[in-house]
Amino acid sequence: MSILGGKDAAALHVDDVTVEIAGRTIVEGISLSADGDVVGLIGPNGSGKSTVLRAVYRMLRPTSGRVTAADRDVWESRPREAARVTAAVVQDGPSDLELTVAECVATGRIAHGRLFGSDRPEDVLAIERAMKRAGVSDFADRDMSTLSGGERQRVQLARALAQEPRILVLDEPTNHLDIRHQLELMALVHALGVTTLVTLHDLNLAAAYCDRLVVLSAGEVVASGTPGDTLTPELLREVFGIRAQGITNPLTGRMQLAYAHETEMNFFE
C-alpha cells in the first residue's frame, strides 16, 4: 500500500507517441518511462511538454504510439478506470469555483465510486489525509473562489492525492507557489513514492527533486537520464540558450545550476 492509502506505484510507459493537431506535428516519437520514481519533463516554451502530459492523462489522443499505465492502454480504458490509476494537476483543469475546498478535494473520490454528498469512511479518511499532506486543512471550509492562486494550486494537488493515484501527472505544479511552498510541494511529491511525471520550468527544482529528466526540444526528446547526466553546459546552451554550470547546493548537497543569459558577461570581469 502506498503512503496515500491506495495501491503501490504503477509503471507508466509512453511508447513512440506522436501528436498531430490540424495537420501539424506537435510532438513526435516520444518515448519515456517512469516506475515509482519522479521523472521531470523539461524544455523551452512550446517544446511540447503539456502535449505529452495531455496524451498521458487522457486529454489528447495520440495520432500514433501507445501510453500504458499499470499495464493498461490508457486510451482503451474507461475514464473512471484510468482515473483510479492516474491523477493529474494541470493548468487548464476544472476550477470548481463554486465549491468549498473540502468539496473540491472530495471530487477526487469520484473515481473510487463516491457519490456526491455521501462520503464513506474511506472517502473521509482519504480526503482528510490529502488535505493535510497538501497543507490545505486550515481552509477546508473556504469557497474556492476566495483562495489565492497558490492556495488553489495546493487544493488541486490535494484533490489529486485524494484520488489515491498510482501515477501522478503534474503540469507546472509550482508556478503559483512561493519559494517555501515550492520546496515543500516537490519534497512531498518525492516522498510519496508514487510514479510521477512532472513538467517544470525551474531547472533547479528539476535538478534537486527529480530522479530522472527527459528533455524536449521542438517536439522531440533530445536527452534523458539523471539530472547530473542531462543538465550539461552543452545541452543547456543548445536547448535553452543559456550559459550554465552544475554546482552543489551547500545547504542540501543536491545539484543545482548557476546560469546566465548567453550574452551576459561576468559582472566582475
Ligand X SMILES: Nc1ncnc2c1ncn2[C@@H]1O[C@H](COP(=O)(O)OP(=O)(O)OP(=O)(O)O)[C@@H](O)[C@H]1O
169 binds ligand X (CB under 6 A): no
Give the strands of the sheet with 167-171, arranged side by side: 86-89, 167-171, 195-199, 38-42, 212-217, 220-225
Only segment of 41-49, 72-80, 127-135, 182-190 that touches ligand X (CB under 6 A): 41-49
Nearest approach in angstroms of CB 16 to ligand X is 17
Q: Which of 8, 46, 138, 264 binds ligand X (CB under 6 A)?
A: 46
Nearest approach in angstroms of CB 90 to ligand X is 11
43 binds ligand X (CB under 6 A): yes
50 binds ligand X (CB under 6 A): yes
By the 8 A CB rule, do 75 and 58 touch? yes
174 binds ligand X (CB under 6 A): no
Nearest approach in angstroms of CB 239 to ligand X is 12
Gap between the Cα atoms of 126 and 122, Å rounded: 6
Gap between the Cα atoms of 64 and 17, Å rounded: 6
Phi, psi of 199 (to 5 degrees): -95, 140
Gap between the Cα atoms of 28 and 116, Å rounded: 40
By the 8 A CB rule, do 192 and 241 touch? no
21 binds ligand X (CB under 6 A): yes
Q: Which of 1, 23, 45, 78 binds ligand X (CB under 6 A)?
A: 45
Q: How many CB atoms lie within 10 A of CB 258?
A: 10
173 binds ligand X (CB under 6 A): no
47 binds ligand X (CB under 6 A): yes
Q: Which of 6, 36, 40, 48 binds ligand X (CB under 6 A)?
A: 48
Q: Binding residues for ligand X, per CB under 6 A?
A: 21, 26, 43, 45-51
